[in-house]
């Protein structure tokens, strides 16, 4: 069966798991085929841990030969191709909540409010539960801006021998952000001046031994993690970076894997010198202090003009 008019809204199908990894693989492939047939955009999320009733119902389903034969037929028809990323199509990926689509800074502001609601709203309120549900999605959702990958393959690592099933693809940001033009668009979206502003990324190993550099996009993007974890050091050749900022310059400290028998002093390199020394007045805190000083001056003026009377003891 072929569906010509697929649903355009993005959907997320969450499946709760309980043991029996071999059957789970078959089930997910079959479900993926059904979703692909009816939806243009979708994701399939696996969450470990369900009750015994659902688990038994799942196992009973696959114990039936007819059901297994149906899954096999679906698998024979299954063919999934990744769509190429078109850089110029839309400025930022969007997510829809309550019938409204959010993108860019507006999306991040919305998510920030929901995270606040998930923690601070009183228990028992519907808004709090919805915010808590969103927190789960932000943890491992394909379009979550704080997850950054197409899927989480922890389940596949445990139960699937095929290494291809373990792959987690980084979302387009990690490739597009190497472009200075894209970085400038991101800075502008968040109301920052292009000149003198930077994007700082962590949790992305920098393969220094293969010639990769931590400064990209014409100096707009800094990657400062680069392999602090020991597990990454054989891949990166180093133990990560620390970004150092003072009023004169930006510097990167390149750390070497710790060896008590060798000198592990980091190598510090200046990557950008400020056009002039940055003062407190140039910072966000400085602007707040200026506003407070202006308020105090108005208060003093009002007192001197008699608009505010001295309180009698």
Q: What is the pLDDT of residues 144-175, one digit of tens each?
A: 988 989 999 988 988 988 998 999 998 889 88
Half-sphere exposure of 143 (CA within 13 A, CB side): 21
Strand partners, 199: 221
pLDDT of residue 297: 95
User: Taking a C-beta distance cutoff of 8 angstroms, is the pair 227, 235 a contact?
Assistant: yes
Rounded Cα distance, 20 and 62, in Å: 11
pLDDT of residue 2: 45
Give rounded-to-5 percent helix, strand, coil for the chain: 45, 15, 40
Burial profile 170-194: b = 16 or more Cβ within 10 angstroms, e = fewer = ebebeebbebeebbbebbeeeeeee
Where are the alpha helices (H) located in 217-276, listed in sequence order?
233-236
Q: In this structure, what DSSP letter does residue 241 have?
A: E
> What are the residues whose beta carbons fall under 8 Å from the beta carbon of 151, sequence distance 6 or more?
43, 44, 45, 140, 142, 168, 169
List Cα–Cα distances, 250 to 207, 214, 222, 244, 311, in angstroms: 21, 13, 10, 6, 51
CB atoms within 10 A of CB 103: 15
Q: What does the block give as tokens for 98?
A: 């309550």
Q: What is the pLDDT of residues 207-227, one digit of tens each?
A: 776 778 889 999 999 988 755
User: Taking a C-beta distance cutoff of 8 angstroms, is the pair 184, 194 a contact?
Assistant: yes
List Cα–Cα distances, 305 to 139, 295, 300, in angstroms: 58, 15, 9
DSSP E strands: which ranges in the chain?
11-17, 42-48, 94-97, 100-103, 199-201, 215-216, 221-223, 241-245, 249-254, 267-273
89 membership: H or E segment, kind and range: none
Sign of CA dihedral 141, 142, 148, 153: positive
| Nearest by Cα to 242 from 217, 219, 266, 259 | 266
- Residues of the chain whose pLDDT is less than 70? 1-26, 38, 46-59, 71, 74-90, 209, 226-228, 312-313
pLDDT of residue 174: 87
User: Taking a C-beta distance cutoff of 8 angstroms, is the pair 37, 1 a contact?
Assistant: yes
């Amino acid at each position: 069966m072929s569906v010509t008019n697929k649903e355009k809204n993005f959907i997320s199908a969450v499946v709760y798991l309980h043991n029996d990894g071999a059957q789970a693989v078959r089930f997910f492939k079959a479900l993926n085929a059904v979703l692909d047939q009816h939806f243009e955009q979708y994701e399939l999320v696996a969450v470990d841990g369900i009750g015994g009733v659902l688990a038994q119902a799942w196992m009973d389903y696959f114990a039936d030969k007819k059901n297994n034969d149906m899954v096999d037929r679906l698998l024979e028809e299954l063919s999934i191709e990744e769509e190429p990323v078109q850089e110029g199509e839309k400025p930022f990926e969007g997510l829809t909540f309550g019938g409204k689509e959010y993108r860019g800074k507006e999306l991040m502001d919305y998510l920030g409010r929901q995270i606040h609601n998930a923690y601070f709203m009183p228990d028992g309120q519907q808004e709090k539960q919805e915010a808590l549900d969103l927190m789960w999605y932000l943890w491992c959702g394909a379009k979550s801006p704080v997850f950054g990958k197409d899927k989480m393959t922890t389940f596949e690592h445990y139960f699937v021998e095929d290494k291809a099933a373990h792959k987690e693809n980084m979302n387009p940001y990690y490739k597009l952000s190497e472009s200075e033009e894209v970085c400038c668009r991101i800075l502008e979206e968040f109301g920052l001046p292009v000149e003198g502003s930077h994007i700082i990324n962590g949790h992305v190993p920098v393969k220094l031994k293969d010639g990769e550099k931590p400064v990209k996009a014409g100096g707009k993007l800094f990657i400062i993690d680069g392999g602090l974890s020991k597990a990454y050091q054989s891949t990166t050749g180093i133990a990560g970076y620390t970004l150092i900022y003072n009023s004169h310059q930006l510097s990167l400290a390149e750390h070497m894997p710790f060896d008590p028998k060798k000198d592990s002093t980091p190598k510090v390199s200046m990557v950008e010198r400020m056009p002039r020394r940055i003062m407190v007045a140039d910072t966000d805190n400085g602007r707040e202090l200026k506003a407070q000083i202006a308020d105090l001056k108005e208060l003093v003026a009002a007192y001197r003009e008699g608009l505010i009377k001295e309180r009698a003891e």
